[in-house]
Structure 1
Amino acid sequence: MTKLPLEIRHLTPADLNAVLELDQACFGGLWTLEAYQRELDSPNSDLLGLFSSVSVNRLLGICCFWSILDEAHITILAVHPQYHHQGFGQALLYSVLKTACDRGLERATLEVRASNSAAISLYQKFGFKTAGRRRRYYKDNDEDALILWLPDLQHPEFQQTLENWCTIISDRLTKAS
């Protein structure tokens, strides 16, 4: 198998300008430079990036979660709009969940726009279930957020699921490259 020109790794301060560009393309400027720097500085935060050595936009996606007690609270998962539907969101979600498992966390949670059916479908593929709704959560349009929940990250069955996803994602990304 040939080596993919893709890499997922923890972000560094040198990546922050690219992160801000990606944030602007995906969210219209959701977080500031200072907010991303706080994530990098926090021992309770993992900020990962999906990089390509062959793309014009080297940073194709980002994801972040906070470790809160025994829970991974996923705060951001975004893929540049030019690179949707190529398996990159799956790769990022796999990586964030694997990182959470490696940290010994027991469960994962997140909020997602109720209208974001593509993201909801992705999360459901990994076993997330709807746990509730936050009314008027998003201030830009007062849209509701669904609260999604994934328990048992340390359970052997979930560890097997992660291994299966690793194979599926690797196969898909190999075919896409």
Structure 2
Amino acid sequence: MIFLDLKIQSLTLEHLSALLELDKACFDGLWTMDGYRRELESPNSHFLGLFSPYSSSELLGMGCFWSILEEAHITILAVHPQYHRQGLGQVLLYSLLKRASDRGLERATLEVRASNQAAIALYQKFGFKTAGRRPHYYKDNDEDALILWLSDLQQPKFLKTLDDWQIMVSDRLS
């Protein structure tokens, strides 16, 4: 998938060092090298990277979901802090949902820090609804996580919505 020369592609073990660098910039070391390696090697894990049009090695963002039965469980979505507020999170989220829909998955879910208003607003913009709360989910500060859900990924209305989002995301980037 390409948006204004930005390139979205599946990540492989070749991208491991770039993933660790991006993780450090975004999360100060949330996942380990072994954690990323497991994700990249898992047949149920779909890991996408967003690359700069100016450098085939510059990883601007990443997103991953697990295929669990008919569900896409989004495990990570991150954009390098230097590129925040430019629509790149929308590109990644759209790409994850498109990939999940293309794979026949029916729902998407994720956890997000209750205090992360920017991420919550992004997910709500794409139709996610709050389904619950996981108390003390984040071990670094004991913060709660909100559980967000998006249903009907295989319904005609959602497929039309995906087309609308592609236009919205492209317009946001231009």
Range into which the TM-score falls when normalised by the shorter chain: over 0.9
Q: How does 1:1-177 map to 2 (within 5 A)?
A: 4-54=4-54, 58-173=58-173, 175=174
Task: Give distance in 1, aligned partners of 2:12 and 2:28.
Answer: 22
Shift of 1:147: 0.2
Instruction: Name the CA distance, whole Å, in 2 between partners of 1:14 and 1:106.
Output: 31
Any unmatched runs of 5+ in structure 2?
Answer: none
SS at 1:48 equivalent:
strand
Question: Matched residue of 1:147: which SS?
Answer: strand
Letter paired with 1:91: V
Deviation at 1:116, TM superposition (A): 0.3
Show CA shifts across 1:102-154 (max 9, x none). Answer: 11000000000000000000000110000000000000000000000001000
State the 1:163 CA deviation. Answer: 0.5
DSSP 3-state at the match of 2:133: strand
Q: Find the aligned partners of 1:82 and 1:55 in 2 and give their Cα distance.
A: 15
**Shift of residue 171 of structure 1?**
2.1
Q: How many residue pairs get matched?
A: 172
What TM-score do you get using the length of structure 1 for normalisation? 0.94
CA distance in 1, matches of 2:118, 2:151: 21
Q: Secondary structure at the match of 2:165?
A: helix
Which ranges in structure 1 are unaligned for 5 or more consecutive residues?
none
**Aligned equivalents of 2:118, 2:57: Cα separation in 1:** 22
Indicate the percent of aligned positions where both proteins have the same amino acid. 72
Q: 2 CA distance for matches of 1:56 and 1:113?
A: 31
Query: How much does 1:13 deviate?
Result: 1.3
